[in-house]
Chain A
């Protein structure tokens, strides 16, 4: 039986779920792991941008002891859900290790679901012609749409998503996030306008090791969704954010485009700007817009997209939602508000507001070198390569 995910996420069957938010991301581009304590303080500083109906975190470099295994974080509404999913996992994967995700009693977190984590190896059940990643995606979709009372929060290697209904600082407190270490953290506080929140509907949204936190409303949602459906994606949750996640998956994983190019699809330059570029670049940008025009994300948004080794901040083309960038030594900060960055890093090398549609990319491949050079130059040169 198909589970009505949509009814949980969108009980009134609106065109799409609308929410506004606070978002925050920090990455140590040298790969050094650090605790979530600062991130929690930063997102808590933007408390008023959410309304307590959703908060969440994504952490990379989380499980170095199981770095080669798919780490599934799964929430259960009841015992039966857990039994069914665990039987499914044992059948489809080699289960190396499982444990409950530790939590502590937190005053405002009421009636939380059980959350467990599983470290899985893709075993013999995978058909030969399918890649391990595709296999995992398929199984996650099966659990999320087919199995009752369970929902997969995240499914990537050496990373996880912690999320739920509450303010982000409460969710962090509940999941004891100050005790974890990672080299890349993103965080989200949610202000849905029309739904009672449910735990699966909080951000970050995740597929494999990709995560998206998003602030905004995508006015092009209708066509973005129809375009993705042509490529076989089923937008079951009817959220803007889901569309961003699938667009990223399509363009990067399936079409093999680099992230700089991804930004030029989601927030392309104006046609008039394209015409002013040198011929080669002009042709590339024109082609991208001609082919992927239906994936242009229009309307106000800021997103922080992350996967292993990379964190990307991007706003819509005319920057209708805020994004501030901060740099300190090898660390790159992205935030809805500058105050949140300054709270945890008062002596930034540099802080600025990027132009609309200009991607800000932090990468392990191009670590930011500590030193006196202006922070924004270091970051932007990486982007200007295309």
Chain B
């Protein structure tokens, strides 16, 4: 069928600069570039260009430019180009439209409407280059109080705690969705920076066992790769109920991506589709969740915190309260902008709520119920920089997860082709020709650099506020002010208007 779909991008080649080295041909995984040996000519066609900039980044002479295809539709606020093109795609394929990465639509990003405080005159700001500045965070359940015996001895036994040197962890990204080189980069960076990475639901490759002290393992609806050693190795075990990019939806790793290595790690036959059901079929209610939480606590001898991850949805506050009462030591909220390797586009862009609002209402609800200390709150979904991290902590998060930001550090240009398995940056693919593009030595270094940069920025912000420990900012919404928000938004966020 002839496609009516116009190309998204136009590739332009400056022939004066091009040296016909064929780097572009080798780098493009969408087959846009070719070399015609007969005419000794480089050719580019733009039909499949995803705008990933791999060729542009690697062209040694800067001969390539990728521009948006300036196809002009008649202006129509309702029928925007993307909507028209989605209909064309469905008319030609008859299927669910799939996409990758997170929601790219224009729903309000509350981080951009929150501003931070700083000290002037009445209290001094603190210079983190000259004074200690503490970011150490412990995840896990805390008791109501500390008990000291008559002789001054400590009588309180703490539930298992996990220490983070930086309040930023890496989001769950499974082996199979991302390559082993990506996971190794994440694991090594997490180990070096004293934080955690997360296996996702694809099991743990034996090559990464050495980083287990910084590993969160997931138990998800497909139960892929869950075995006693997997649980024993983990520092935290996470039950995945949902994901911000696709709340209420399961997962599907197509058989083509299930290589022998992926299959072994997931404990399924090679080449078979790895299907994660929408719900966990042993969790149809909150008491079922409690059973799985305690089954995992038993299996890990009460030595590891059990985390439960949900997508941020309308009544997250009530759900979170139930999760805490069901024994979760950590709750993870993944917001509207949470990303994915593949999700139905209509779900990604329309289901869930902004993480800022979910976080604020969950933190407030748990405090109203007097159970906030019984679980740590971790949030994810669209955290872009250290400013977002600080705002999240001031709203009440104990720590945040980053997925997209970490992948961008590894090369991702957000072309949203994760679901095709053709990632030219070698991140979200299992094609060995592509995966080798991520070198774990370099990948780990880039991730460490990112976290180090963010850490320094967070310390600067804390010092500016006149506090020298992160716990003095955590949940301290007086250090936030809102701009351009209405009264209801301010009420839910629990912040005051700037100038008030």
Contacts and interface: CB of A to CB of B under 8 A. Distances in A.
Q: Are A and B associated in one complex? A: yes
B466 A219 contact: yes
A373 interface: no
A361 interface: no
B53 interface: no
12 contacts: A13-B500, A217-B122, A222-B475, A222-B477, A227-B475, A229-B367, A256-B148, A289-B471, A292-B146, A299-B466, A300-B466, A320-B123
Interface string B463-477: 001111101111111
A24 to B, nearest CB: 21
B180 interface: no
A18 interface: yes
Nearest to A13: B500
Interface stretch (B10-18, B150-158, B379-387): B150-158
B148 A258 contact: yes
A272 interface: yes
B325 interface: no
A284 interface: yes
Interface in B322-381: 367, 370, 372-373
Contact of A298 (B143, B148, B467): B467
B301 interface: no
Nearest to B121: A193
Interface string A57-68: 000000000000
Interface of A: 13, 15-16, 18, 20, 193, 216-217, 219-223, 226-227, 229-231, 255-258, 261, 270-272, 280, 283-284, 287-294, 296, 298-300, 317-318, 320, 385-386
A386 B472 contact: no
Contact of A287 (B146, B472, B473): B146
Contacts of B131: 318
Q: Is the interface of B mostly helix, strand, loop or mixed?
A: loop
A384 B297 CA distance: 39
B62 interface: no
B373 A291 contact: yes
In which size bucket is the chain B interface?
35 or more
Interface string B434-469: 000000000000000000000000000000011111
A152 B158 CA distance: 40
B475 A298 contact: no
B122 A271 contact: no
B132 interface: yes
Contact of B478 (A16, A294, A296, A317): A16
Contacts of A16: 478
B134 interface: yes
Contacts of B119: 219, 299
A288 B126 contact: no
A255 B156 CA distance: 12
Given A290-B161, A298-B467, A317-B468, A258 B478 contact: no
Closest 3 CB pairs of A and B: A222-B478, A298-B472, A220-B472
Contacts of B477: 222, 226
A246 B496 CA distance: 25
Given A270-B132, A294-B471, A283 B146 contact: no
Given A271-B134, A298-B468, A318-B468, A284 B154 contact: yes
Contact of A299 (B145, B152, B467, B500): B467
Residue of A222, A272, A283 ringed by the most chain B CB atoms within 10 A = A222
Contact of B154 (A193, A270, A283, A296): A283
Contacts of A284: 154
Contacts of B146: 255, 257, 261, 287-288, 291-292
